[in-house]
């Protein structure tokens, strides 16, 4: 499987199953998509503001739900394997992406996996284990949270520095070198992580340094 980032803005995600797993998937997609969760019962969990629809569709009613909701992605998170099979079949029939929460290993066309994800916006890192050890994905996600601390700020610093240097009379090679130096600078990481210097201060310092070295460091 090959990881891709998918923009779900303005799209609908249809989740079947209102247990803890359905809730987790709903929360995940609700940060971007319109999420509808269909289930006869709902766990006392946070569904991320998703629309909850109380119903227990039979296998032959699933296609109707997909036609009405026209989702970009369907999540099968019920505890009924036959229903999950019907959901996967109906999604495949429509060419809709399908995530089965009760399967790992071999996957059919159009099926997708939800990886463990850590964000420090706009930076995002996802982990998967080929379905072999979701608990390991979760563990590594927790480990990565520390590594990613300050990475969002660092991304904003790099973007601002690149933008500003593009408008100055600086060669491409030199611009790339400066940005690479910033990313590799322990001092900048420490400043951003500890808050001793904020991103605008760091940007100012880096650009002042460029001016003072006359732009001929390449
Ligand atoms: C294939 C996949 C399909 C998919 O759901 O997309 C899948 C399938 C299954 N998960 C199962 C079990 C558990 N899943 C978790 C947790 C997570 N599972 C997630 C993803 C995935 N799970 C996809 C593969 C990702 C990969 O490749 O690693 C995460 C990363 C993302 C998310 O769901 O949001 C989220 C962590 C989020 C986080 O915290 O960061 C825990 C731990 C816990 O709940 O604390 C357990 C119990 C411990 C264990 O068993 O490992 C079972 C057995 C069910 C049973 O025994 O009946 C199946 C079915 C099977 O294996 O057949
Ligand atoms: N991918 C993952 O991370 C994990 C996946 N699983 C798998 O996911 C399944 C769901 O896990 P939980 O949420 O813990 O189970 P659960 O049993 O707590 O929840 C299942 C939900 O499906 C609903 N449901 C039953 N029939 C339905 C129908 N016809 N239409 C819509 N909803 C229906 C139930 O009312 C219940 O709310 C498990 O059976 C297991 O196979 C379990 C743990 C983790």
Residue 217 pLDDT greater than 60, yes or no: no
What are the beta bridge partners of residue 99?
A: 75
Give the pLDDT of residue 202: 86
- Distance, in Å, from the CA atom of 218 to the CA atom of 216, rounded to the nearest integer, reads 5
Q: CB of 150 closer than 6 A to ligand 2?
A: no
- Top-confidence residue, 178 or 198: 178
Write the CA distances from 27 to 6, 47, 81, 150, integer angstroms. 16, 5, 23, 24
What is the value of pTM for the model shown?
A: 0.93
Residue 210 pLDDT greater than 50, yes or no: yes
Residue 154 pLDDT greater than 70, yes or no: yes
Average pLDDT, integer, range 75-85: 97
Does residue 149 sit in helix, strand or coil?
coil
Give the pLDDT of residue 208: 87
The superfamily (CATH) of domain 12-114 is NAD(P)-binding Rossmann-like Domain (3.40.50.720)
Q: How close is the Cα of 12 to the center of ligand 2, in Å? A: 20
- Distance, in Å, from the CA atom of 163 to the CA atom of 101, rounded to the nearest integer, reads 42
Instruction: Render 193-214 in DSSP notation, one character per residue.
Output: HHTSS-HHHHHHHHHHHHHHTT
Spatial neighbors of 54 by CB under 8 A, at least 6 apart, are 39, 40, 41, 42
In contact, 152 and 184? CB cutoff 8 Å: no
Q: CB of 4 closer than 6 A to ligand 2?
A: no
- pLDDT tens, 10-35? 999 999 999 999 999 999 999 999 99
Q: What angle do CA 8, 10, 15 make, to 5 degrees?
A: 60
Question: What does DSSP assign to residue 60?
Answer: G
Q: CB of 98 closer than 6 A to ligand 1?
A: no
Lowest mean pLDDT segment, chosen from 8-22, 40-54, 60-74, 99-113: 99-113
Q: CB of 83 closer than 6 A to ligand 2?
A: yes
Q: What ipTM does this complex have? A: 0.97
In which band, very low, low, confident or very high, does the pLDDT at 78 lie, cut at 50, 70 and 90? very high
């Amino acid at each position: 499987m090959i990881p891709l980032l998918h923009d779900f803005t303005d799209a609908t995600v249809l989740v079947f199953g209102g247990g803890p797993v359905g809730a987790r998937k709903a929360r995940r997609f609700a940060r971007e998509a319109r999420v509808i969760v269909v289930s006869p019962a709902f766990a006392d969990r946070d569904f991320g503001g998703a629309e909850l629809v109380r119903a227990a569709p039979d296998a032959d009613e699933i296609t109707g739900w997909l036609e009405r909701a026209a989702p970009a992605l369907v999540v099968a998170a019920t505890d009924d394997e036959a229903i999950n099979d019907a959901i996967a079949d109906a999604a495949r029939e429509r060419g809709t992406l399908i995530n089965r929460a009760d399967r790992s290993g071999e996957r059919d066309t159009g099926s997708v996996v939800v990886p463990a994800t850590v964000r420090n916006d706009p930076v995002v890192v996802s982990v998967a284990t080929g379905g072999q050890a979701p608990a390991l994905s979760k563990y590594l996600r927790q480990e990565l949270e520390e590594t990613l601390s300050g990475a969002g700020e660092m991304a904003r610093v790099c973007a601002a520095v690149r933008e500003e240097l593009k408008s100055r009379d600086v060669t491409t090679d030199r611009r790339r070198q400066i940005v690479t130096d910033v990313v590799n600078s322990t001092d900048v990481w420490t400043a951003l992580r500890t808050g001793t210097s904020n991103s605008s201060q760091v940007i100012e310092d880096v650009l002042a340094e460029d001016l003072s070295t006359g732009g001929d460091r390449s």
